[in-house]
Amino acid sequence: MMKMEAKEITWFNWVAENAKEGDKIGFDFTQYPASFFDIRFKAIKEKGFEVVSTPNFVDQVWGDLKPERPTELIKVYPAKKAGMNPFAKYVQMCEKLGAIDYLLVTALD
């Protein structure tokens, strides 16, 4: 989970505060679980905005050129090359991020 500073505002709260009554809020429903909407869109729904499904724009840009999802097994990079083992990296990330329950790494960089 990302730790937020007190002055930061989430995107869904920003929408709730800045959209005008009667506005439609486009969102790709396929990218998030239903529980996400129940929690995140409470403020938006209370203000009477309509949340509508939009296409996944990334998929539209890729079109037929979108590569297949990888099917290979995940490989552990040797600690000798990485500088430390995966568990030590996880512990280091937890120390930097604070108390977290899960850490999902989606890119090696």
* Tens digits of residue pLDDT in 21-67: 888 888 888 877 777 777 777 767 777 788 888 888 888 888 899 88
Look at residue 65 in the predicted model and tell me its pLDDT: 92
pTM summary value? 0.45
CB 100 within 8 A of CB 94: yes
Domain chopping of the chain, boundaries: 11-97
Amino acid 1: pLDDT: 46
81-105 pLDDT tens trace: 888 888 888 788 778 887 666 666 6
Q: Is the pLDDT of residue 107 over 70?
A: no
Q: Mapped to the 3 state alphabet, what secondary structure does 33-102 carry? A: CHHHHHHHCHHHHHCCCEEEECCCHHHHHHHHHCCCCCCCCCCCCCHHHHCCCHHHHHHHHHHHHCCCCC
pLDDT (0 to 100) of residue 50:
81
Across 5-31, average pLDDT = 78
pLDDT at 78: 85
